[in-house]
Amino acid sequence: MNSPQTSFTGRGVTWALTLLTLCSFTLGTGEIMIAGLLPDIADDAGVSLSTAGLLVSSFALTVVIGGPVLALTTGRTRRRRLLIALMLTYVLGNVVSALAPSFWALATGRILAALAHSALMPLFFGIAADVVPPNKRGMAVARVSLGFSLAMIAGLPIGAALGQWLTWRATFWAVAALTLAITVPVAALAPDTAGISAADDQGRLRELKVLGDRRVQIVTGVTALAAAASFTAYTYVTPLLTDAVGFGESAVTVLLLLFGIGGTAGNLVGGRLTDRSVLGAISLSVAALAVALLLLGAATGVPALAVAFLFLFGLAYYAVIPAVNTRLLNVASQQARTLALTVQSSAFNLGTALGGWLGGRLLAAGAGLRWLPVAGGLVALIALVIAVAEAAGARRRAAAGTTATAEPRPAATEPRPAATAPAPETA
């Protein structure tokens, strides 16, 4: 396929990457904004808070299944046509959610949006790689991934504020309108070329053997457990802050902004730790996540401490992401990296679904909101045991001289995966 990168220079590249960053911001906001709207949705739909939490789980599970399936089945579709179809599906999903007369209609809209989401990010990253020279692709991917951090810092609190000011439906309308507005310009960036050949399509199926690699299984398992730990609490973060800690609804927007700032700081810290030791960074960041969640649960009666541990929670979780993504790139074969990173995205979303489900079950069983971060902290401890065991095993193999299976250091010429995005279709 001919790359369109020669058509973009100077300001053209800046414009293209800015537009793609806006695209990832829109998708990121559409995914996470539900955390700030859950109590209002539950009240309006006449369902329990635990049932409303299924909106998080259903979205994540759709990405888990839809990502790999669409990656393997749409490879031969023309890129621009696929992009437009997915963007319009994302618009439709949010419109259905905004108009939903019942909870299950709202869930249907979320599933439609999640299906489009699962395949759009690989396309955005691919376009970003095409509009710059090969030696700038790492920067381009990181630039697009920045949209996810902005979604956490700005999109989530703005969505929560809009939902409080108008209604939760207005937030879905806003995401649909923004998606529709950027569909035409981003489609113009996409190369109007055919997908991969039939021979290449068959070759992609052979990549499935990467799933049998024990190191891949371990890192995706740690990813899923870390996400489950986080979303056991984060799915219900709004009622946790209002009902358990005692903040007013107006303060939630500021607190979610603080969480997002912590996440951005965590990306930077996690990236620096990963440059020193990948497995060490995984162990340290997962340990910090467990501590932050356990302390957040213990401090719900002291608002000032709860705020501090909420910030630490955001910092620790987002420090995990660059470490696990780098580890996966190190252990997956060059030919299978795209599929491996798609599976990594599925692991993240599987953990998100499990966390939302676990939190909902605890609430349905009568547990108080303060116990959700405690439960998440215990899940993080399980991930920590696995991470520490893997690091110890890598050290033993290195000491025994089996360097082929020891932890490889990131290549100097290969950029570290974007720290800001849980979606790992960056390869």
60-103 pLDDT per residue, tens: 788 877 777 776 676 566 778 888 889 999 999 999 999 989 88
For residue 418, what pLDDT is reported? 39
List the structure tokens of 257.
């902004």
Calculate the alpha carbon distances from 334 to 142, 160, 328, 338 in Å. Answer: 20, 41, 11, 9
> Buried (b) or exposed (e) across 165-201, using 16+ Cβ within 10 A?
eebbbebbbbbbebbeebbeebbebbbeeeeeeeeee
Q: What DSSP state is assigned to residue 95?
A: H
Query: Which of the residue ranges 27-41, 91-105, 173-187 would you say has the lowest mean pLDDT?
Result: 27-41
- Work out the number of other CB atoms within 10 angstroms of the CB of residue 30: 29
Query: Which of the residue ranges 5-14, 67-76, 286-295 would you say has the lowest mean pLDDT?
Result: 5-14
- pLDDT at 416 > cutoff 50: no
The mean predicted confidence, pLDDT, of the chain is: 78
For residue 234, what pLDDT is reported? 87
Please tell me the distance from the alpha carbon of residue 122 to that of residue 188, in angstroms, as a whole number. Answer: 17
For residue 424, what pLDDT is reported? 33
Calculate the alpha carbon distances from 99 to 92, 166, 189, 298 in Å. Answer: 11, 15, 31, 39
Name which residue leads in pLDDT, 149 or 117: 117
- Candidates 286, 287, 289, 297; CA nearest to 236 is 297
Give the number of residues written for the chain.
Answer: 427
For residue 333, what pLDDT is reported? 56
- pLDDT at 251 > cutoff 70: yes
**Angle, vertex CA 105, rays to CA 99 and CA 107, nearest 5:** 110
Percent of the chain with pLDDT over 90: 20
For residue 74, what pLDDT is reported? 66
Query: Dihedral angle at the C-alpha atoms of 301, 353, 144, 15, nearest 10 degrees?
Result: -100
For residue 411, what pLDDT is reported? 44
For the segment 209-243, what is each residue's pLDDT rounded down to a tens digit? 656 667 888 888 999 999 999 989 988 888 888 88
- pLDDT at 427 > cutoff 60: no
Query: Which of the residue ranges 16-20, 33-37, 122-126, 209-213 would you say has the lowest mean pLDDT?
Result: 209-213
Instruction: Indicate whether this model's pTM tops 0.85.
Output: no
Contact 426, 332 (CB under 8 A): no
Please tell me the distance from the alpha carbon of residue 427 to that of residue 425, in angstroms, as a whole number. Answer: 6
Query: Which of the residue ranges 197-201, 227-231, 274-278 would you say has the lowest mean pLDDT?
Result: 197-201
Domains and CATH numbers, the chain: 8-399 (1.20.1250.20)
